């Protein structure tokens, strides 16, 4: 039998945490053409379940992202898979730590604004204009 199509390459998944799958969860699954996992994201529309779903989903994808991508038919060979996963993992780390830094800066600004707002709103710090006896306007 003559087969015109070559069988799918058997890829070895990378070891470790998948920062790309962790940070870009649904778009990562679309990028590696694993559409059947996208059904999970319907749980995001269920009230109260969505909070637990996002936590469980990102942790699962972080742990199993490399294996999910290795079972994909998107990659022709191991070097293509390794290049894609290295880029995804690098971008995921940058996004995660940038979001962490921005969140910390915003928390510090929020605490500073709250502290300033409490200080300004005390009755002793509000100056009252002196009445000069002149009619206003």
- Residue 126 near residue 59 (C-beta atoms within 8 A): no
CA-CA distance, 18 to 65, in Å (whole number)?
5
Judged against a pLDDT cut of 60, whether residue 4 lies above it is answered with no
Q: What is the pLDDT of residue 22?
A: 93
Pair of tokens at residue 99: 């979001």
Half-sphere exposure of 30 (CA within 13 A, CB side): 5
- Could you report the per-residue pLDDT of 73-117, keeping only the tens digit for each? 888 899 999 999 999 999 999 999 999 999 999 999 999 888 876
Residues 6+ apart with CB under 8 A from 90: 19
- Could you report the per-residue pLDDT of 44-79, keeping only the tens digit for each? 888 888 889 889 999 999 999 999 999 888 888 999
């Amino acid at each position: 039998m003559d087969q015109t199509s070559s069988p799918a390459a058997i890829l070895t998944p990378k070891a470790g945490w998948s920062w790309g799958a962790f940070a870009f969860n649904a778009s990562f699954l679309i990028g590696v053409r694993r559409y059947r996992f996208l059904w999970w994201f319907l749980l995001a529309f269920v009230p109260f379940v969505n909070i637990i779903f996002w936590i469980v989903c990102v942790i699962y994808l972080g742990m199993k992202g490399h294996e999910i991508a290795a079972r994909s038919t998107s990659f022709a060979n191991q070097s293509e898979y390794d290049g894609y996963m290295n880029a995804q993992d690098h971008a995921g780390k940058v996004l995660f730590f940038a979001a962490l830094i921005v969140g910390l800066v915003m928390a510090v600004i929020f605490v500073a604004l709250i502290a300033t707002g409490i200080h300004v709103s005390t009755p002793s710090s509000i100056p009252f204009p002196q009445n000069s006896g002149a009619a206003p306007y």
